[in-house]
Amino acid sequence: MTPPPAEGTIVAKPAATPAPDSEVQAETAPAAVRVETPLRRFIVDFCDSPLALFGLAVFAVIAFIAIFAPWISPQNPYDLAQLDIMDGRLEPGSQSMDGKTFYLGTDDQGRDMMSGIFYGLRISLLVGAGSALIALLVGTTLGLTAAFFGGRVDSVIMRIVDLQLSFPTILVALMILAILGKGIANVVLALVIVQWAYYARTVRGSALVERRREYIEAAQCLALPNRRILFRHLLPNCLPPLIVVGTMQVAHSISLEATLSFLGVGVPITEPSLGLLIANGFEYMLSGKYWISFYPGIALLVTIVSINLVGDHLRDVLNPRLQK
Amino acid sequence: MTVYLIRRLMQSVLVVWVMSLIVFLGVFAIGDPVEILIAPDADQIERERAIIALGLDKPLWEQYFIFVQNALRGDLGRSFVFNEPALRLILQRMPATLELAITATLFAVVIGIPLGLLAGLKPNAWYSRTIMAGSILGFSLPSFWVGLMLIMVFAVQLGWLPSTGRGETAMLGGIQWSFLTVNGLRHLVMPALNLSFFKVSLAIRLTRSGVRETILQDYVKFARAKGLSPTRVIGVHVLKNIMIPVVTVMGLELGSTIAFAVVTESVFAWPGMGKLIIDSIYVLDRPVIVAYLMIIVFMFIIINLVVDLTYSFLDPRVRLGESKA
Amino acid sequence: MSLAAPASAAAAPAAVPATAAPPTLEVRGLRTHFFTRAGVVKAVDDVSFTVRKGKIMGLVGESGSGKTVTGFSVIGLVDPPGRIVDGEILFHGQNLARLSEEEMRKLRGNRIAMIFQDPMMTLNPVLRVDTQMIETVLAHEKVDKETARQRARDALGQVGIPSPDERLKSYPHQFSGGMRQRVAIAIALLHKPELIIADEPTTALDVTIQGQILFEVQKLCRDSGTSLMWITHDLSVVAGLADDICVMYAGRVVEKGTVDEVLDRPLHPYTRGLIGSVPSRNVRGKPLVQIPGMTPSLLNLPRGCAFRSRCPRADDACMSEPAITEPLPGREIRCVHPHLEGAA
């Protein structure tokens, strides 16, 4: 097997400090006195693991590629005018009819795989991160509501959560898409429905602990509006577990989207995500034309693993039991 | 114990009822039921007649009532494509899926627990770090991707194992099984391995954290103070305590393994119920979809029940607690 | 290695008043250190004592004084990051610190047994009592299962558990705390060990149960000639039970001798403080005496005597590590200013 050049481009820049990190640093900078804020300690702890930093750097590169795909891709894979069917299924490194090099080969339509992967990353990240974010908003709101109001509200919401979580994600998503049909919006909807319960359960769990603390009582005594107590007092204190779950869920939803698209019930063929690219190349793989499936697969792998490396370390750093 | 059993059974009935409502509303109310239940080539008069025959002119609650009545009789509709009762169609494919899922669970236990034990006993050794890194991969890699890689390496490059189908099967108890023939086993290995990938990682993690927790317990130190051999301390005192959560989770996961078989069956063209449901979604064979969903719900409820009972059997403390309750 | 190692330490075999029989256990200059990320914790630092044959030796100290680690060192169950770095543990003259793990395993539960502090935690919750007893028998002797079961039954009877046959088939959670500790003691007795290390075995129990167990243990030792190393923080237990006493503070032995002598006339300020802290009828109404301050962290012990900061007699002389001295016959202490006033 040839070493995947796709990874090479990513590995090339590990030294560059990842963008998200420096943003966080900038936020703490105004504090002239070097007090140990939770954020600063978190950053110090996080930088403890070279592996997690590497994951973050890799993810930054991937996010960059996804965002700037139209500007850095050699070709627009959606523009049929740029494709030549004569370039179909070329091996990685071959030349096109008009002399361009296809570093990662081409698919059956003569599409440059590298461009396809760049655009596919865009769709995958958009769907994955987008649905995780919406699910986070929905789940957090419902989880906080359940914890704060308790009683019947709590039991209704948590029954639904329990019911939802007792079924595997893939099954629920499959059923929703079976009813609604393909399409990016439908995939996002399905992923949100599948995921909100995780956030709701996480937030409720930590909010229940926080709710008994005295500062919430104090806020209630001050007759602050519920909304303010919920989001300004309760929520910030539930953030650490939420960040961990959120990170993991982004990876999970990217993976789930890829699976659904691979099964042919996800995104439409006009806007292929990584999963669909892999599915398209599947039939050629048995005849030895591995690259049509293989390289999108590597891109997917690197994306998911890098997020998981970050998430795994976040869990260690933010684990309240270890912070003593 | 009986009270507990009855309470659990009533919970289960409630969940089945809720799910039937959701499925009914999802498939029969959101989509156009006429499109779903009547062959597309029917003319206007046939359609009218069918609508009345199927009771689609009746109010929604009555339709639901009829749906439940039929379901209770085991009638979940007929497949458009195969023109067979949907239920029978699914039950025919079920053994293949069960065979795959159970083999995968077996792999998970046989591979995952020893590796987890190893990683838990020597957490800083190089091989433990390797095992744990591998388990992160097992958690994060989409299983269809792993399946593709397995095919690429073992079927295409090395040509050791076949990539599609069940291979030869042999009859046992009136059902065809792959594991009874050598050829069938060769077909079974790769899909089962693929399906078990996630579960192996899970078993590793559970076992490892269990070991790490248990070896710090006083009773393990006491067992060592009794002069027991390390094999016995680990094999009996540590492992028996760990087996409880691991077995519980593995059992609970059997349901999700069956659900995830959808992916593996699609990759390896394994003729189980997962492949059937995907094919049915392509051609919008909705009675099959409904039947599949109801059966899965039912299966999940039974699995959860069995796991709860196993748990109480394995852990004497739970057993006592329940009998008092 | 400790920089403050006194020159006399290695050369001080515990001088116990003339006893004919050789001691069961003789510990010399034991050092057990824990190599943690935060630094080296000298949990046991230059500890020497003797357990005489058929006698009970009380090892007394506050929590964190190193007494439990001493016990684990003797039976060879110090886990990483901890390690015995120096010293000899002579069990009938054989140095246990040099034995291989397998040789040590053959001694454990057989000739040396241990009883743990919390009876709720020492028995495996998922194994029946008979399993846990029979495996102990089989670990050291090649007998058939029925014989092993018979032995287990006898041992349960010996520690005063009624209807042992029935009890054998029970799980630990079906026993009360006192009963569990009896089971643990029965397990320790299975092979008629020459030495039992008991790590605060009665601390977690009710006072009445504690009394029963103490009584039984004392009887068993008398009857079978077993030596006992009784680790505790409770001086009143030691006073009624032990023959010899050894007081530990911050990983070191500060005073040792026979129980009568040490309790009657403590020489070390710490021992004196400990005895003064025991509430008793005689001083009712008066405020209880207490030792001010807290046990120092073993991670960074102050220079010199570890008790210096809490000691009413401390002065500049205490800035250097006090050596072991024997101001009275059979009485060893580690103090520059012992309470020798009015001594003969």
Q: Is residue C266 part of a domain?
A: yes
Query: B296 near B93, Cβ under 8 Å?
Result: no
Cβ atoms of A125 and A106 within 8 Å: the answer is: no
Q: Are C186 and C161 in contact (CB under 8 A)?
A: yes
Q: Is pLDDT at C155 greater than 50 in this prediction? A: yes
Nearest CA in chain B to A302: B141
Determine if residue C54 is left, alpha or beta; phi over 0 gives left, psi from -120 to 50 gives alpha, anything else beta: left
B contacts of C109 (beta carbons < 8 Å): 225-228
**Residue C177 belongs to some domain of the structure:** no
**B132 or A90: which carries more pLDDT confidence?**
B132
- Number of domains within chain C: 1
Q: Which of B258, B281, B285, B302 to mutate to test the interface with A (most CBs of A within 10 A)?
A: B281
Could you state, in order of their start, the residue ranges of all structural domains in chain A? 46-322
Residue of chain B with shortest Cα separation from A166 = B300
Q: Say which residue the tokens 């005489």 belong to.
A: C52
Q: Return the pLDDT at B23.
A: 76
- Domain of C259 in residue numbering reads as 23-104+227-344
Phi, psi of A41 (to 5 degrees): -65, -35
Q: What is the mean pLDDT of chain B?
A: 79
Chain C interface disruption, residue of B124, B218, B226, most C CBs within 10 A: B226
**In 3-state terms, what secondary structure has residue A163?**
helix
pLDDT value at C111 more than 90: no
The winner for highest mean pLDDT among A95-104, B104-113, B120-129, B278-287 is B104-113
Read off the pLDDT band of A50 (50, 70, 90): confident
Measured between CB atoms, does A278 come within 8 Å of chain B?
yes
Question: What pLDDT score does C298 carry?
Answer: 74
Binary contact (B137, A259; C-beta < 8 A): no
Q: Is the pLDDT at C2 greater than 70, yes or no?
A: no
Residue at C149 is within a domain: no
Sheet holding C25-36, edge to edge: C39-51, C25-36, C82-91, C94-95
Average pLDDT, chain C: 79
Which of helix, strand or coil describes residue C214? helix
Winning range, highest mean pLDDT, from A169-173, A215-219, B21-25, C294-298: A169-173
Residues 6+ apart with CB under 8 A from B208: B116, B117, B119, B120, B123, B132
Question: According to the model, what pLDDT value does residue A17 have?
Answer: 38
Percentages (nearest 5) of helix, strand, coil residues in chain A? 75, 0, 25
Contact A57, A47 (CB under 8 A): no
Provide the token pair at C42.
Answer: 């000298």
Instruction: Give this complex's ipTM.
Output: 0.81
pLDDT at A1: 38
pLDDT higher than 60, residue B66? yes
Contact C109 B225 (CB under 8 A): yes
pLDDT, tens digit (0-9, with 9 covering 90-100), for B83-125: 788 888 888 888 888 889 989 998 998 898 899 988 888 878 8
Q: Is the pTM of this model over 0.90?
A: no
The candidate with the shortest Cα–Cα distance to B143, out of A56, A163, A114, A168, is A168
Domain made up of A46-322: CATH architecture: Orthogonal Bundle (1.10)
Distance from CA of A305 to the nearest CA of B (A): 6
Is residue C219 in some structural domain? no
Chain B: give the shortest CA distance to residue C83, in Å. 16
Alpha-helix runs per DSSP H in A212-273: 214-221, 226-228, 235-263
Instruction: Tell me the CATH number at C340.
Output: 3.40.50.300
Could you give all domains of chain B from N- to C-terminal order, each with its CATH number?
Answer: 20-72 (no CATH), 95-324 (1.10.3720.10)
CA A203 to chain CA centroid, nearest Å: 19
| pLDDT interval class at B56 (50, 70, 90) | low
Name the one residue in this structure whose structure tokens are 């068993």. C220
Enter the DSSP assignment of C36. Answer: E
Q: Do the beta carbons of residue A66 and residue A302 sit within 8 Å?
A: no
CA distance B236 to chain A (A): 29
Tokens coding A77? 């894979």
With a pLDDT cut of 70, the percent of chain A lying above it is: 77
CB B266 within 8 A of CB B238: no
pLDDT grade for A192, boundaries at 50, 70 and 90 = very high
Place B246 in a pLDDT band, splitting at 50, 70 and 90. confident
pLDDT above 80: residue A262: yes
Give the pLDDT band (50/70/90) at residue B294. Answer: confident
